[in-house]
Structure 1
Amino acid sequence: MRIEEISLTGFGKWQGAYFRFAPGLNLFYAPNEAGKSTLLQAIFAALYGMKRDYVKTARYLPAYEKYRPWHQGDYETIVTYQLGGKKYRLHRTLAKEREQARLFLDPEWTELTDVYMEDRRKERNFLEKHLGLTRSLFTDLTWIRREPLEAAEHLMPAFADAQEASPHVHAVLAELDRELVSIGKKERAENTLLGKAASRAASKEQELAHAEAAWRLIRQLTQSIQLWEEERERLEQRRIRLRERMQKWQEQDQLWQESWQRSYSPIDAQDWQWWLARAASEEERQLHEKARSSIMAWDEQTPDGAQGTAASQALGELEADYERGTSLRKAREQRHMRLAELAVLALSTGTRSQARTQRQGNRAKRKKGAVRLWGGAGLFAILGAVGLATGHPVLGGSSLGLSLLLLALGIFVLRAKGSGHAVAPVAASEQLQESERLQQEIAAIDAEWASLLERWDVRDWDTFLAKREELQRSAQEQRAVRLESDLAKAKREEMLQADWGEAVRAILRQEKRQREEAESDCLAQLSRMEDELQELREKIARAYGEMAAHEGVSVARARDEYEEAAIALRRLLQRRDALQLARDALQEAQGEWKRDVSPDVNRTASEVMAQITGGAYRDVRLDPTEGFAVRLLEPTRNLIVSHEQCSTGTADQLYLAQRLALLQHISKRTEPLPLFLDDHFVHYDDERLQRTLAYIAKLAEQHQVFLFTCHEREQRLLAPLLRGSDWHKAHQLG
């Protein structure tokens, strides 16, 4: 077997690393912490993965977490190797959440993954099928370490003589041995197949008993639930009826509240109809009828208010005519005032015209004009006095106002200078037209005034006012009488309604007491019923809970599973017996191995030890009964010593002789296996190291060798061999 190249997408410190190896010796020289051991572990992981061979508790090797990618990259490897004349390319994804292994045949890249079946570890054992060696056996034989073999008990089947049997007999024997160990000897063992099968059979037997008991319980619970459901339905119907009664009483309570409030309010005809419709008894109906009759009889005795209505109507008409007369008087006075203004305007116009004609006149003429104005003022004063004396205050007031205006105008004319500015007079024709129109309007107002006085049969306005006062006084007296009557009626009605309301409230109080007693009894029944319903619900819920706990329990399925488990246990016992026979046969083969194979392995180990020690030690033995423990014959004392009794350097050399002897023996039956050494020569002196490297170099002609070291001695001693060679190669890390 030859490993050609490896690509590390992510493994420990290596990320995106690529190595191509020589077919002979591959020397890796680098200081500590440069990644030599990580590369060695990456080769093993690329070939075999990171799972344990013999699964017990943990499926993965302890180093799995140690060599996770440091740079958060993909935990992946790709290795290319030659085996049996074929070239394979093996891709591995080691991450637990998406682990995968795919095998291709180079150079066609034909995928062979599905040709290999998965084992109990969900792993496809490509190399194990090719070589007949598990990961533990492969590392035990190819990795030279200063420690005992890890899988010595599984190494014996690999030495079986297969020359006369099938070429795969050693793999079959190894599988039988693993199966026997995994099956176990005792049925109480927890981690063996036999213990698990026995435990499963016992568990299925218990499940069958549990299923039968559960089925009996479910039948009982089903019958109980049916009875409880019938009782619950009956109680639910009773509760519905009680709640309907409670709802009805609540509605009655609302009606009672409204009745109680209305018993304090005045009532009309519609209210009597409501009370009669609401009456719950004949006694209450008679009470309402009697009260209504009494109030209606009192209304009929009330005096008629028609007379007062007529007086009020006449007073209203009089008030309207009063408002109309007042407005007529005001309009007449306004028009007389306008006539006076026109007269003053006519007089002032004449004066101003004379002033323009005689612009240079003397003061005597101005006095003459003033005298005229004062004369007009005197006439209007006399007219005003007469108007006031005859009962015409508007006419009298207007005349007196014009008199004062003319008096003031005369004073102004007397004191005015001749050089004053003149105001353009109003045209005489326009003044005349307006005066005529005003006189016509005054005449129309006087005619309407006379018609108003005639309607009420009075001579003048003062008589009209006196008649108005008399009607007002009469209407007020009639209102007082009607008010007194209304007050008496209201007081009587109030007394009747108060008596009626007190009687009604007495009936309402009695109704309320009866309803509250009935409601209290109903609430007590509802409370007891709710308790009974709650108890039934809890019983039903517990029953359903117990049934749900056994949901999916099938007696037939449990019986079938128990029978299957019992059959599986019997088959496993039969298989264990068959494997035991095979193991006995292997134990017999062990004696043959001692007779036939052991001499060959011991001879090879002795040759290796003599080569590297320069003949100081020549006899070495491997004891298969003690895990291939290695012993040495010390020539000086002629004593047999184990590796624990030797010096550190000698013990390292014994381990090397042991591994090389086993490796060469197994390689004869398969093909040359690679050899891995990781700083193994630390305790070797220079002389023994030189002889050992010479032996390794000779061995590298047949076996691919991977030598990892952090010392310059190995590099210096192997330099002649590596210089200019395509068969060997030096690799610089870091």
Structure 2
Amino acid sequence: MIIERVHFQGFGRFQDQTIQFQPGLNVIQAPNESGKSTLLQGIFALMYGGVQEGRRVRREADWYSGYRPWIAQQYGGEIDYTLQNTSYRLVRNLIKGREQEQLWNRLTGEELHHHFSFDQRKERKIIETQLGLSGELFQRTAYIASYSDTGSLSYKQEKKWQLKLTEKLNSLLDQGDEVELTSVLGYLDEQLNEMGKTENAKQKPFGMLIEKQQKLSEELEKEQETQAECLQTRVDLQKLWREKEQLEQEYQVLSVQHQRISIALQCKAEWYRLDKINAALEEWEVANRKQIALQDKIYQLEEKKKLLEPPFRMQMEDLEECNGLHYQHQTFEKRIAQLEHQIHEEEQMSPPTLPWWKPVYPFLTYIALFLTGSSLFYSTILGFVLGTTTFFLYTVSKVIQEWNRKHYNQSRLWSIQTNRKLLEQYQLEHKVCKERLEWWQQRVGTNDPSIIRKWWDQTQQVEKIEWELDSLTREQPILKKGEGKYLRQKWEDGKRELITKYKGAFCDITDKQVDSESLVLSRETVHKSMQLNSMQIGEKQNSLQELESRLKEIEQLHMEWERVSSELERVKEEKEAIRVAQEVLQEAYRSRQGNVAPILQQISSSWIRTVTNKRYDCLFADFTGDGLSARIPETGRKEKIDQLSTGTLMQMVFALKMSIVQYISSESNQQLPILLDDCFVYYDSDRLASILPLIGKLSQTHQILLCTCHTREMEQLNQLRQTYHAVSLIS
């Protein structure tokens, strides 16, 4: 299979964009966040759609919402590919509820999607049928992505997946005999039934764990308020203790000032009256500044309005009418000219006529006359019969010719009359149109649509300015004349009288002393506040004890939730492993009912020897306890795979996937395309130099799309003189 072109109507960052590919090695070099992963995910989506596989109920794929366009209304595109010397075009609409897939033969234009029947979920499975490979198996084998530090969770899941898949495949390698898959698949299906296939199986372990996790999650969400309440209670308690210390200090101060508190209260009352005057003065100053600012803005808008005011204000109806009149005027002129020309041509035309003495069929007539004259020498009756026939031939043809001429003249006259009536109608409508345009000319001085359009734009701007002026006018505060001067004078006089009145009563009363809270609160008020504070502290302490006891219960709930979640994750992983094992075994059973161990062992061993520079030659799966291991050819010693470095493990996974791709391609006689998404980003130069020649050799039989954010791959390919095609993401 060779992918030739993809066109995204809407997918992620790609909007109405086309990208071309060539057979062999295609290198897409671009920086991070430029759309490389989006491109490969889009190719996979156009091939297999946006619905999860292996589920009875239709459900969106995990990547579906992440790549849906925010702005564009379309989600999907089309992909051109060649398979078994036939060119196809597959068009997909990925919008939920409106999913659609159409397949055409690009050479003949024949619709082919009707040849693929719907399955139970109303899906046609076009690519699955053509390649004989499901989307998930394609993604796990021919679609290889990189592992990043930020995606450690997905890396662990992928590693578990690869190990489980490797164990299933290596079980074939170690046995070397044909496996009876029917009993194995039945056993796996029984295991799935025992665990519960769906969340609705409440009596099965899987459904029970789901239900229990949901209940615990709901209880924990409710108890989150308890945690927040406990924290807030501790904060309030600390605040109350600090408030108690402040009240005790203030009580001591007020005890000393008890004799002067009455004078301070009187002073406070009069000062409160001055505060009202000061507040009114501040409000007046704010309103005055706002009025000045609004007046400046109104003046600027009025000046702008004067500059933009058009000679005549136009509405949208006026603009549409003027454009329509000009279009009608031009249309009627063209139609009138065409009709006048047609009438003139029809009037000039006349049917061809022959003189009365010239026969319609001269050759037949002359032969008949000759035969008539000749027969008179032999028989008078024969001459009479031939003469009558000659006369009949001449007369009938003349009559038919005359009737055709009259019929032609009548048709021509009817056509001329019809065209004249239509011409008069067009002329009348044209006259009305011209009168309307002249009325426009007299009304506003012009009927030019461009000028009317300019006036309409200016009218819109002026109306917007008028709306702003109206809003600003309503926002202007109403101020009384001389009010500010009166309030300022009253404030200054009252302040001066207050300081003069209370000066010497107790120390020197200044503005700061008059505003102090020590003159506001009395000793009795502070004492009551201290009692209330003590009561609040006791209540908060009791409430805190209750909340702390509830927090212990929440910790136990959280531990139970973690235990249930861990158990549920284990069950999910076990279900996923069983499902994948079923799919792999079914795919192997369909593709080849026989012993695949020798071929797959040979292919994988060749790849492993090459990518590891002959340090390892093959993988072994020992299920007695040692697990998966790699063999060193020089010594024959087996090294556990969990003791290998991350780079070597990545090489092993890559080699295993490439061997599976080669095996599937050789068995199905269909060369799968290989999608590589920055899978060499963590390879050092030596590992990359060992893998690129294999990639080049593999590109001779497979199409490879290599995405990278570095230039070193292209540099080493150039050094190796390896042929490749550079693909740009900019259309």
The structure that has the greater radius of gyration is 1
User: What is the TM-score with the length of structure 2 in the denominator?
Assistant: 0.40
Relative contact order higher in (CA < 8 Å, ≥ 6 apart): 2
